[in-house]
Structure formats: C-alpha cells, structure tokens
Amino acid sequence: MKAAIAKLLKRRRRALNRTAGCRSRCRKSRRRKRRTWLRVYYYYAQGDGVKRSFWNEDATPGYKSRIPARGKLLLANVFVDGMLQAPELYHIAHGGIQFQSDQPPPVDSRIIAQFIVMRP
C-alpha cells in the first residue's frame, strides 16, 4: 500500500515539474522583446594644417558623411591619420567637430569620425 502511494506521488511530482517548466517557457515566449535600434554614422574630412573646426560642409565629397545631433549620441570616436584621439582633444557640436589641442590636424591628414546613435 505504501509503495503504491509513493509511486502515485512520484508520478504526480513529475507531472507538476513538467507543466511548471512548460509554463515558464511559454511565459518567456510571450514576453515582448525590447529592441534597441543603433545606427552608425561616419564623417570623413581632410586636414589643411590651419583649420581646427570641421563642419558637415567640410566633408570629403563622395561619402555620405554627417555629424549627428549630440543629444542622441552614444559614442564618438575620432581618428586623425588612423590614430584614435582622446575625448579631451575634441568637442562635438551639432554639425561640427572642434579640435581643442594646440596644433590643428596636419596638412592632407585624414579625419575620420565614427558616431553611434540610438534611434527611437
């Protein structure tokens, strides 16, 4: 008699465990997934040895390059001749990059800026 009761209880526990697992899996699949939309923008320009401010109009023609608004900006990387610049050396405004170092970018140097922006 005790063996029969133990067997029934064991079966019942297994059934409960199976349904509990399914419930949690089903609940997980019903959850709405949050998507974060990120967009990457690039800006290409050429240094002339004099200018310290570069605007959207100064971009190298032929590239779809622009400087996004600062409010939506998550990350910005600025490269001068392939060297990553420290954030203290430049300031990003809407539509422009201003270098704050003592020396402007050298003549014929490539200025590449990478921006990661969050979209709604």
pLDDT of residue 115: 93
C-alpha to C-alpha distance for 4 and 57, rounded to whole angstroms: 85
pLDDT of residue 98: 94
Tell me, what DSSP letter sits at residue 81? T
Q: Which residue has the higher pLDDT, 62 or 6?
A: 62
Q: Which of 74, 75, 85, 76 lies closest to 110, judged by CA? A: 85
How many Cβ atoms from other residues are within 10 Å of residue 59's Cβ? 20
Domain ranges of the chain: 1-33, 37-119
75-90 residue pLDDT tens: 999 999 999 999 999 9
C-alpha to C-alpha distance for 5 and 9, rounded to whole angstroms: 6
- Residue 108 contacts by C-beta under 8 Å, 6 or more apart in sequence? 46, 47
Average pLDDT of the segment spanning 12-39: 65
Q: How much of the chain, in percent, has pLDDT values that exceed 90?
A: 47
pLDDT of residue 85: 94
- DSSP secondary structure of 5-62: HHHHHHHHHHHHHHHHHHHHHHHHHHSPPP--EEEEEEEEEEEESS--EEEGGGSPTT
43-58 residue pLDDT tens: 999 999 999 999 999 8
C-alpha to C-alpha distance for 97 and 105, rounded to whole angstroms: 12
Please check the confidence at residue 65 and state whether its pLDDT lies above 80: yes
Average pLDDT of the segment spanning 94-103: 90
Query: How much is the mean pLDDT over the chain?
Result: 83
